[in-house]
């Protein structure tokens, strides 16, 4: 394993790589000190586990990215580490673009919270149904209508997959026979959505149509950590895509507000992931294998 680090004004960044290192221009090589740097970076959480939070994305973070979202799964070794983390840390949650109920079924750890649809749905431990922002529910009929209108024979011929996420419609073109042609069809849908007063968000080979109501993982982080009088010694967030940047920003804002003592943002490196994830992260790990190593470090004796 190689460890790389870079220093920007006011902040140190460490990168723990098991496969593909980031560009050498951004990180100087530090050999033989990976374990020490991991311990240093995670020390605020490990020192105060009962008053610390561990928050994670799922797809591309806990579960490897696959062509069809329905085929994705969390490895059993990762799931066991999540169980151990849930027993040690004060707040543990997964924040996913999937529906909250689907995220819970995928991770299969019932003692943690799940924020689905990028934070629009909250499913706490012990709850049987997710709580949805009332401001989003009024848009359900309009989103259903748009989904039906867009689900054409031509779109299916291009192998574009439509995913119903409740208050969000996702259009996936990963694995399409001609991804460029499929992307062109999705561009047209995105333009129509914007003309109809809806909002469009882009991810890794996915485009989402949303109502013009704020939905982002940063708001979800605030829902979990910012409500009430509880204060957290430290909070960790791990993610791999553009939508996870909102969670990074929210954690730093909560530090400024005194709700969180220390924020640790972890970016997951992937070949087609956004560069901003690595640029804004405090720690960068290589893929889901790197995340698993991070989780193991959180519960190591």
CA 218-224-227 angle, to 5 degrees, is 105
> What is residue 234's predicted lDDT score, i.e. its pLDDT?
97
Give dist(CA 286, CA 21) in Å, integer.
8
Q: What fold is seen in the domain 2-133+216-299?
A: Rossmann fold (3.40.50)
> What is residue 3's predicted lDDT score, i.e. its pLDDT?
39
Which residue matches tokens 């940047």? 245
Domain coordinates in residue numbering, the chain: 2-133+216-299, 138-210
* C-alpha of 257 from chain center: 23
Secondary structure (DSSP) of 215-271: --HHHHHHHHHSSSS--BSEEEEEE-STTHHHHHHHHHHHHHTTSBS-EEEEEEE-T
Please report, in tens digits, the pLDDT of each residue of the chain (301 residues total).
333 433 334 444 444 443 334 443 333 222 233 555 667 889 999 999 999 999 999 999 999 988 777 788 999 999 999 999 999 999 999 999 888 999 999 999 999 999 998 888 899 998 888 888 778 878 888 999 999 999 999 999 999 999 888 788 999 998 898 999 999 999 999 999 999 999 999 988 999 999 998 888 998 999 889 866 789 999 999 999 999 999 999 999 999 999 999 999 999 998 888 899 989 999 899 899 999 999 999 999 8
The pairing of strands 283-286 and 263-269 is: parallel
Q: What fold is seen in the domain 138-210?
A: Alpha-Beta Plaits (3.30.70)
| Residues annotated as catalytic (active site), given as ranges | 57
* C-alpha of 284 from chain center: 14
């Amino acid at each position: 394993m190689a460890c790389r680090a870079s220093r920007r004004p006011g902040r140190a960044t460490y990168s723990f790589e098991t496969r593909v290192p980031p560009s050498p221009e951004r990180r100087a090589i530090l050999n033989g000190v990976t374990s020490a740097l991991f311990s240093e970076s995670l020390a605020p959480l490990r020192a105060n586990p009962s008053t610390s939070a561990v928050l994670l994305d799922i797809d591309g973070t806990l579960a490897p990215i696959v062509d069809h979202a329905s085929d994705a799964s969390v490895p059993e070794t990762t799931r066991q580490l999540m169980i151990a983390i849930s027993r040690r840390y004060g707040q543990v949650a997964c924040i996913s673009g999937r529906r909250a109920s689907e995220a819970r079924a995928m991770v299969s750890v019932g003692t943690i919270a799940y924020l689905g649809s990028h934070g629009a749905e909250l499913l706490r431990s012990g709850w049987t149904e997710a709580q949805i922002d009332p401001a989003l529910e009024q848009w359900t009929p309009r989103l259903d209508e748009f989904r039906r209108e867009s689900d054409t024979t031509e779109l299916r011929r291009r192998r574009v997959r439509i995913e119903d996420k409740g208050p969000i419609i996702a259009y996936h073109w990963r694995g399409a026979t001609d991804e460029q042609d499929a992307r062109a069809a999705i561009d047209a849908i995105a333009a129509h959505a914007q003309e109809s007063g809806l909002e469009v968000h882009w991810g890794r080979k996915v485009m989402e149509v949303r109502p013009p109501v704020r939905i982002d993982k940063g708001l979800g982080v605030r829902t979990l950590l910012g409500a009430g009088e509880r204060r957290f010694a430290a909070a960790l967030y791990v993610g791999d895509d553009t939508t996870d940047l909102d969670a990074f920003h929210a954690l730093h804002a909560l530090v400024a507000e005194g709700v969180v003592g220390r924020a640790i943002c972890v970016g997951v490196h992937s070949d087609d992931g956004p560069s901003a994830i690595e640029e804004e992260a405090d720690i960068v790990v290589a893929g889901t294998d790197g995340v698993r190593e991070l989780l193991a470090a959180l519960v190591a004796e």
